Structure 1
């Protein structure tokens, strides 16, 4: 698969020199290198859609097909909300404001683990679909990447509560 990199997983975040910079960078045309988080931003997504520690990624610019690789699986809870789990490899198809055919990301709803299959950005909201239902969250929940085992906005070992617009309610 050809590695053409201009942008992946979209959003606007300030994490160019953050702990995320430890991820492997792949060269882009002209010798420049972009992190997977910068690629996300290029497609108008926030960096927080990927957990910290992505080791490498590949993107076929012509199809939008991508893979992101972590050292191992990753899971974390969101206080008063959901639990998320990332497999060591996540994949899908990315385009401006839309991630589809996702695999490798799941959310625990009630007692069931459901695969997140699509993420759509609609202005300042992200809608996550599990196929049979979806939930919307304010985009500012995702301005920083979650840490495996700890989640978002870790302060003194506590995680902030996710601001939910609508929940996975029809399950």
Structure 2
């Protein structure tokens, strides 16, 4: 009888652990941004997967396509693979994101969060600051944050 009870208990424990593991889902690239104190809007909609090395912070996000859109007076372009090194409040060695300034495309190489501001650095020589609240939602490829306005006017 005792042997039967032990076997039954082992089966219950196994089923419970298996269900718990199955229920846990992999975090999204947007979840990872939030874990490092960044808003989800740093990545446009369409991130399909990511890789993160927690030992050195190497982070790669995969988009379902290349992507461009306007934010304020800036045109941004994202390649389908974005790479960088992520740590709390800092995305360094960024590769795959560019901004058009005048007629020239410049690589955004670093994003730093300082309180409620995000500082975007291009080529390490110039930067622009924007409020974090501008990035609480992810922009959509093609229309950025103004997709609903374009749908309302029939574009």
- TM-score category (smaller protein): 0.7 to 0.9
TM (norm. structure 1) is 0.72
Q: Which residue does 1:42 correspond to in 2?
A: 35
Report what 1:90 is aligned to.
82
Query: Is the 8 Å Cα contact of residues 76 and 151 (structure 1) preserved in structure 2?
Result: yes
Q: What's the secondary structure of 1:67's corresponding residue? A: strand
What's the Cα RMSD here?
Answer: 1.7
* Shift in Å, 1:153: 4.3
Evaluate the alpha carbon distance shift between residue 123 and residue 153 of structure 1 in structure 2; reply closer, same or farther with a 3 A threshold.
farther
Distance 1:102 1:89 in 2: 11
Mapping of 1:1-171 within 5 angstroms?
31-79=24-72, 81-130=73-122, 131-157=124-150
Structure 2 stretches of 5 or more lacking a match?
Answer: 1-20
Give the TM-score of the pair, scaled to structure 2: 0.79
Question: After TM superposition, where is structure 1 displaced by more than 3 Å over at least 4 residues in a row?
Answer: none
1:72, distance to aligned residue in structure 2 (A): 1.7
Structure 1: gaps spanning 5 or more residues: 1-27, 159-171
Q: Which structure has the larger Rg?
A: 2
Give the length in aligned residue pairs: 129
